[in-house]
Amino acid sequence: MASIREVAKRAGVAACTVSRVMNGTASVAPETRKKIEYAMRELDYIPNELARGMFRQRAGIVAMLVPSIRHPFFASLADCIENQLFFRGYKLMLCSTSGETEREREYLGFLKSNIVDGIIMAVSSLDREEYAALEKPVVMLDYYVNDSIPLVTADHRMGGKLAAEEFIRNGCRLVLHLCDEEKADRVVSFESHLELERILGEHGIESRRISISWNSPDMEVYTEEARRLLREYPEADGVMAADMVAAAFVNAALESGKKVPGEFCAVAFDGTYAADMNGRELTSVVQPVEKMAEKVVEIMARLLEKQRPKETDVRIPVTLRYGKTT
Amino acid sequence: MASIREVAKRAGVAACTVSRVMNGTASVAPETRKKIEYAMRELDYIPNELARGMFRQRAGIVAMLVPSIRHPFFASLADCIENQLFFRGYKLMLCSTSGETEREREYLGFLKSNIVDGIIMAVSSLDREEYAALEKPVVMLDYYVNDSIPLVTADHRMGGKLAAEEFIRNGCRLVLHLCDEEKADRVVSFESHLELERILGEHGIESRRISISWNSPDMEVYTEEARRLLREYPEADGVMAADMVAAAFVNAALESGKKVPGEFCAVAFDGTYAADMNGRELTSVVQPVEKMAEKVVEIMARLLEKQRPKETDVRIPVTLRYGKTT
């Protein structure tokens, strides 16, 4: 491979000047820059990826922050986003915050420097200002920062409505729904819970919000918790929860001798592969991960090309998929 | 923030020389280098991460190639590895090859350049030579390349033995086991199948190897396939397969009216959270993902510090976890 010295010789400049062009650290006359770029192409000079990244001001990497790689929803979404990015010539750097605020901040501090071209945020435990200060293309998945940072999300309000209607159809009287209450005022996804409560309330159906942390998916923990809650609310006849939690409730309800459906209904929220593993597919509100991934990457690609995104607040419709639990 | 010119001025050298030190593109006298480094520290000069990466010859990133982010085993392992790397100050770049050889090659081409410090390979569809040529720290997870590239893996032979013994205890007569036959001669994990066959054979128990691609986990596909295989082998009374596939077999067996266990047994291989979602926890050979992650990252950290790893062929014992399917 050609060296930087050969490039300099061919271009008729000093090696230092080539360095400067590559680094972007100092101004170089446009025609000199052109000469150097021409010489590089002629000699098929390939600096290493880092140098090329600096040269093009592009690393070719987009980061995505998730609360957990293992969580079926984030795993599915990351899988689709990785795929979409790959076809556009970008690589994915997947970072897991374990749901911890400090870890999210540390990752962002690392990413803020020039290591990645853009950041996709599937977590949002920091303040608006910290996201607004990122100074590089950002797409948020569940949190509104400001009008200039695009937000792509499933239509959670619609999800809450579809679930509520299903509980009404099934004649439920007391529906438990599991959420992360700390995030009530922050995240778009919480709208599903508000809408569920609103519609059930209008129909005189009781509902109970139950706070649960779901960042470290563990069936044993979930099942134990489901058993406990079914003892605490023996009259509960419906549950809305993330796939694995909903599966745990179905298992616990069956264990306690309840008929599912009939005496107990479950609507899983997310509808990933985890909602199907039960042998009795869970009725699910399906988040359209492929469409979401497509939209996220389409917007990110435009931002990376310094174009304005066509939309900055995208809510993608969800669907209800019938399983064997309603 | 201080500029490169201020650093040069403070160090009493030309800006070009600072560039050269940062780029490592040309030799600079040691005392000049020291002067520059000192000036940088004094002025709190922070070049962007890319530049720093070049300067330190370290990006702070370790890549991991997996066949699928969604696959419960790889998701669990990646989650643990990310965690371990994070505590050592490294970030994970997770790349999914979708099980495609060309994509694996493209990723490696990208990573070969200086963008990451090391590579953890949980896929291995290329030739040994291609891995040997990577010229940066590599840890393999399921494929022996040569004595200088460390291999960390679960003890799959032991896994096959534990599963075989469990089928024997359960009085099985025909055991199906699902594997990716194309990889029979390549991957360490195939040893579980060979050992299962060997031990069952010694006990006069029949076994059938069935080839399946499991890179895109999809319960619907698996369940359809399980139904078909149970029709094709009506006398089958046991199955060993990856968690989700084993779960699909249990569902299909129950559907067809078989008692599980009793008339049909299942041993899931991996023992991730996916083996628990069934409400009838699957008896599982558990791959110790946390210990594997610890070992992988410990070895990678040593390689990154230019130290020899203490071990280069690590097989971590697996365990049998009893569930409700044997």
What is the model's pLDDT at position A188? 86
Q: What is the pLDDT of residues A211-252, one digit of tens each?
A: 886 656 678 888 889 999 999 999 999 999 999 999 999 989
Q: B75 and chain A: CB distance < 8 Å anywhere? A: yes
Mean pLDDT over each residue of chain B, to the nearest integer:
86
Separation in Å, CA of B203 to nearest CA in chain A? 32
The 3-class SS string of chain A reads CCCHHHHHHHHCCCHHHHHHHHHCCCCCCHHHHHHHHHHHHHCCCCCCHHHHHHHHCCCCEEEEEECCCCCHHHHHHHHHHHHHHHHCCCEEEEEECCCCHHHHHHHHHHHHCCCCCEEEECCCCCCHHHHHCCCCCEEECCECCCCCCCEEEECHHHHHHHHHHHHHHCCCCEEEEEECHHHCCCEHHHHHHHHHHHHHHHCCCEEEEEECCCCCCCHHHHHHHHHHHHHHCCCCCEEEEEHHHHHHHHHHHHHCCCCCCCCCEEEEEECCHHHHCCCCCCEEEECCHHHHHHHHHHHHHHHHCCCCCCCCEEEECCEEECCCCC
Which candidate from A52, A79, A96 shows the least CB-CB separation from B82?
Answer: A96
What is the model's pLDDT at position B50? 45
Contacts with B255 from chain A: Cβ below 8 Å: 279
Choosing among B52, B94, B114, B119, which should be mutated to test the A contact, i.e. which has the most A CBs within 10 A?
B94
Q: Where in chain B is the domain with CATH 3.40.50.2300?
A: 61-153+289-316, 156-288
How does residue A2 score in pLDDT terms, banded at 50, 70 and 90?
low
Q: B211 and chain A: CB distance < 8 Å anywhere? A: no
Please give the residue of chain B at the shortest CA–CA distance from A108: B91
Contacts with A110 from chain B: Cβ below 8 Å: 49, 60, 91
List all residues of chain B from 244 to 283 with a beta carbon under 8 Å from chain A: 244, 247, 250-251, 254-255, 273-274, 276-279, 281
CATH topology of domain B156-288: Rossmann fold (3.40.50)
How does residue B53 score in pLDDT terms, banded at 50, 70 and 90?
very low
Mean pLDDT over each residue of chain A, to the nearest integer:
86
Instruction: Kindly tell me if the per-residue pLDDT of B54 is higher than 50.
Output: no
Q: Specify which of A47-51, A234-238, A277-281, B27-31 reaches the highest per-range mean pLDDT.
A: A234-238
Cβ pair B82:A60 closer than 8 A: no
Instruction: Kindly tell me if the per-residue pLDDT of B152 is higher than 90.
Output: yes
Q: Where in chain B is the domain with CATH 1.10.260.40?
A: 4-56
How does residue A94 score in pLDDT terms, banded at 50, 70 and 90?
confident
Report the percentage of chain A scoring pLDDT > 90. Answer: 46
Cβ pair B19:A4 closer than 8 A: no
Instruction: Kindly tell me if the per-residue pLDDT of A204 is higher than 70.
Output: yes
Instruction: Kindly tell me if the per-residue pLDDT of A49 is higher than 50.
Output: no
CATH topology of domain A4-56: 434 Repressor (Amino-terminal Domain) (1.10.260)
Please give the residue of chain B at the shortest CA–CA distance from A78: B69
Q: What is the pLDDT of residues A255-296, one digit of tens each?
A: 999 999 999 999 999 988 888 776 668 999 999 999 999 999
How does residue A198 score in pLDDT terms, banded at 50, 70 and 90?
very high
Please give the residue of chain A at the shortest CA–CA distance from B57: A50
What is the model's pLDDT at position A272? 87
Superfamily of domain A61-153+289-315: Response regulator (3.40.50.2300)
Q: What is the pLDDT of residues B183-208, one digit of tens each?
A: 777 788 899 999 999 999 999 999 99
**Residues A65-94: what's their mean pLDDT?**
89
Cβ pair B279:A79 closer than 8 A: no
**Residues B26-42: what's their mean pLDDT?**
75
Q: B70 and chain A: CB distance < 8 Å anywhere? A: yes
**Residues B146-153: what's their mean pLDDT?**
93
Please give the residue of chain B at the shortest CA–CA distance from A67: B79
* ipTM of the modeled complex: 0.75
What is the model's pLDDT at position B177? 96
How does residue B285 score in pLDDT terms, banded at 50, 70 and 90?
very high
Between A164 and A4, the more confident residue is A164
Which candidate from B19, B72, B110 shows the least CB-CB separation from A25?
Answer: B19
Separation in Å, CA of B205 to nearest CA in chain A? 28
Q: Specify which of A107-111, A241-245, B172-176 reaches the highest per-range mean pLDDT.
A: B172-176
Those residues with Cβ within 8 angstroms of residue B192's Cβ, 6 or more apart along the chain or in another chain? B156, B157, B159, B160, B163, B240, B269, B285
**Residues A85-96: what's their mean pLDDT?**
86
Separation in Å, CA of B146 to nearest CA in chain A? 26
**Residues B36-46: what's their mean pLDDT?**
71
Q: B79 and chain A: CB distance < 8 Å anywhere? A: yes
Between B151 and B112, the more confident residue is B151
Report the percentage of chain B scoring pLDDT > 70. Answer: 89
What is the model's pLDDT at position A54? 45
Separation in Å, CA of B56 to nearest CA in chain A? 12
What is the model's pLDDT at position A279? 65
Separation in Å, CA of B323 to nearest CA in chain A? 12
Contacts with B5 from chain A: Cβ below 8 Å: 26
Coil, strand or helix at B13: coil
Which candidate from B25, B68, B107 shows the least CB-CB separation from A79?
Answer: B68
Class of domain B61-153+289-316: alpha beta
Instruction: Kindly tell me if the per-residue pLDDT of B68 is higher than 50.
Output: yes
Cβ pair A75:B76 closer than 8 A: no
Q: How many beta-carbon pairs under 8 angstroms link A with B?
A: 177
Q: Where in chain A is the domain with CATH 3.40.50.2300?
A: 61-153+289-315, 156-288
